[in-house]
Amino acid sequence: MTSDGTTQTTEYWFARRFPVGNPRNNLAPVSRKALRVVGVFVAGMVLGGLMFLLLGLSGQFVVGAIIFALLAGASGGYFITKAASMGDKSHTVADYKAGRVPGQLPYMS
- pLDDT over 70 at 8, yes or no: no
**Residue 4 located in a structural domain:** no
Gap between the Cα atoms of 25 and 17, Å rounded: 7
Torsion sign across C-alpha atoms 65, 71, 74, 77: negative
Residue 60 covered by a domain: yes
Domain count of the chain?
1
pTM: 0.81
d(CA 36, CA 31): 9
On whether residue 109 sits in a domain, the answer given is no
3 pLDDT tier (thresholds 50, 70, 90): low
Which residues constitute the domain of residue 66?
Answer: 14-98
Q: How far from 58 is each of 1, 55, 73, CA to CA, in Å?
A: 59, 5, 23
Query: Parallel, antiparallel, or unpaired: how do β-strands 87-92 and 14-16 relate?
Result: parallel
Residue 1 has pLDDT above 50, yes or no: no
Note whether residue 107 is domain-resident.
no
